[in-house]
Amino acid sequence: MERVPVLVIGGGYAGLSAATLLAWREVPVMLVERHPSTSVQPKAFGAGPRAVELLRPVQGLEEELTEVGAGAGEDLRIAIARDLTDPEPHLLLDGEWEHLALAGLTPAATVRAPQADIERVLRVKAEELGADLRFSTELISLEQDDGGVTALIRDKDGDHLVRAEYVVAADGHHSPLRHALDVPTSGKGELGRMCSIMFDADLSDLVREREVTLWYLRNDTFTGALVTGAGAGAHVLGVHHSEGESTADFTHERCVELVRLATGRPELDVRILDRTTFGIAHLLADTYQVGRVFFAGDAAHTMPPTGGQGGSAALQDGADLAWRLWLVLTGQAGPEFMDTYDAERRPIGALTADAQLAELGRRMPPAARVGYPEPLEDPLNALFGHRYHSTAILDEPGDDGSILENPRQGGGRPGSRAPHLVLDWDGQHISTIDLFGSGFVLMAAKQGGQTWMDAGRVVKERLGVHLTRLPVDDELLDVEGRFAEQYGVSGGGAVLVRPDGYVAWRAARAELDAVEALERALRAILSR
> N- to C-terminal Cα distance for the chain?
32
Element (H, E) at 134: strand 132-135
Kindly list the catalytic residues. Answer: 216
pLDDT level of residue 473 (50, 70, 90 thresholds): confident
Predicted local distance difference test score (pLDDT) of residue 232: 58
Domain regions of the chain by residue span: 2-72+108-186+284-382, 187-281, 385-525
Element (H, E) at 398: none
Helix, strand, coil shares of the chain as percentages rounded to 5?
A: 35, 30, 35
Classified as helix, coil or strand, 194 is strand
Classify domain 385-525 at the CATH topology level.
Glutaredoxin (3.40.30)
The backbone region for 291, taken as left when phi is positive above 0, alpha when psi lies in -120 to 50, beta otherwise, is left
pLDDT per position as a tens digit, 43-65: 677 788 999 999 999 999 999 99
Taking the model in full, what pTM does it have? Answer: 0.92
Mean pLDDT of 434-448: 91
Q: What is the DSSP string of 284-308?
A: EES-SEETTEEE-GGGTEE--STTS
Predicted local distance difference test score (pLDDT) of residue 467: 98
Q: Specify the higher pLDDT residue, 404 or 323.
A: 323
pLDDT per position as a tens digit, 277-308: 888 899 999 999 999 999 999 999 999 988 88
- The answer, yes or no, to whether residue 212 has pLDDT greater than 50, is no
Average pLDDT, the chain: 89
Mean pLDDT of 141-152: 96
Per CATH, is 187-281 categorized as 3.30.9.10?
yes
pLDDT per position as a tens digit, 214-225: 888 888 888 888
Percent of the chain whose predicted confidence (pLDDT) is above 90: 61
Per CATH, is 2-72+108-186+284-382 categorized as 3.40.50.12500?
no
Q: How far is CA 515 from the centre of its chain?
A: 35
Pairing verdict, β 440-445 and 467-472: parallel
Peptide bond into 414 cis (omega under 30): no
pLDDT level of residue 365 (50, 70, 90 thresholds): low
Mean pLDDT of 322-338: 98
The backbone region for 307, taken as left when phi is positive above 0, alpha when psi lies in -120 to 50, beta otherwise, is left
Predicted local distance difference test score (pLDDT) of residue 72: 54
- The answer, yes or no, to whether residue 112 has pLDDT greater than 90, is no
